[in-house]
Amino acid sequence: MEQRFLPLQINLTFRNENACSGKNGGIRSWHHYDIVGRRITNTMSISIKKLNLFVSFAILFLLLVGGSGHADYSFSNDADAVENAANSVFMLEVYDSRNRKIAVGSGFVIFEPDILATNYHVISDGAYVVAISDESVPYQLQQLCIADKAQDIALLRFDVDHGFEPLIPDTTGKLKRSSPVVAIGSPAGLKNTVSIGNISAFFDQNGKNWIQFTAPISSGSSGGVLLNDQGHVIGITTATYASTQNVNLAVRVEKLMELYRKWDGKTTRPMGRVTGKTNTSMPSYSTGQIAEGKVWISGSGKKYHNNPECSKMRSPREIDLLEAIQMGYEPCGKCYK
């Protein structure tokens, strides 16, 4: 019977029994190895110990060589670093002054531990925002630091400083097409979804300097963060062309830095439209109201919504978000920003 498909096993043969200890060092004393399907001999257990030692040396060597330069660092390949960055990104639920949830979007901490960046269009009709952390803890924001409607960007302040770690803006401005990027946001209300892609192009339109990129985003991703392969913020994920494949757009972080420099660092005002007389009482919400993973659908139409009052739904019913996705429903672009 032919033995071509035998699993390969590595059989190390050491001529020097002290190969891996003592002055001679292990690696130089390593003479040859076979990678044929030989029977395991009595010396195999000793060989495996030496193999382990050799592997340890090899890993140490690679670490020393690999760690010597930052040029090889790749944030998009560093899952722990991406996880850490996600702690500074939030799913935003936007409420009006009557405590109705009107939109879902994304935002991230930048510049200071209590400053949150997002798109202006995400919060423009809201009275306050509940930012839901990666670990599903809700935090309230009612104060607007500064906004730029034309650039579609805004900076909000958390009601209480929780000491979140601000993401670092890229200040080099050196962006190249094909460079890897990581997007973190809440497409379709799926909190802190990570996607990886690359920069496709740059172009200017209506005074906006867009970064076009491929990392998938969707309704709900507005205000999310776009990071380069060093893990630094290069943009705010803002828009996507609905009728195309992966033509996604981010506002460049330079615009956010300009906005931050314009702000005096202390003055804030209540965000959005507060109807009626000035109401000094705190807007209220309870964590129980945040039915995570629940959406509203109606018999007609193929969109799901984050509240039953959106788009004049007929006999709306509440179902699991994942169920709605499985059934082929898509996020409503009005209540998912």
Report the chain's terminal Cα–Cα distance, integer Å: 64
CB of 99 to Zn ion, least distance (A): 17
Exposed, middle or buried by CB within 10 Å (0-12, 13-18, 19+), for 93? buried
Give yes or no for residue 337 binding Zn ion (CB under 5 A).
Answer: no
The 255-294 site mask, x for binding Zn ion (CB under 5 A), equals: ----------------------------------------
Give yes or no for residue 94 binding Zn ion (CB under 5 A).
Answer: no
227 vs 321 by CB, closer to Zn ion: 321
Of residues 178, 59, 81, the one with CA closest to residue 73: 81
β-strand pairing of 128-132 with 89-95: antiparallel
Give yes or no for residue 122 binding Zn ion (CB under 5 A).
Answer: no
- Report residue 317 as tokens: 């019913």
User: Alpha helices of 109-252 — where are they, by DSSP H?
Assistant: 120-123
∠ CA(326), CA(330), CA(333), 5° rounding? 160
305 vs 337 by CB, closer to Zn ion: 305
Count CB neighbours of 166 within 10 A.
17
Give yes or no for residue 332 binding Zn ion (CB under 5 A).
Answer: yes
Exposed, middle or buried by CB within 10 Å (0-12, 13-18, 19+), for 188? buried
Size of the site for Zn ion (CB under 5 A): 5
Considering only 85, 305, 321, 329, the residue that binds Zn ion (CB under 5 A) is 305
- Closest-by-Cβ residue to Zn ion is 332
CB of 323 to Zn ion, least distance (A): 17
60 vs 242 by CB, closer to Zn ion: 242
The 307-326 site mask, x for binding Zn ion (CB under 5 A), equals: ---x----------------
Query: Where does this chain bind Zn ion (CB under 5 A)?
Result: 305, 310, 332, 334-335
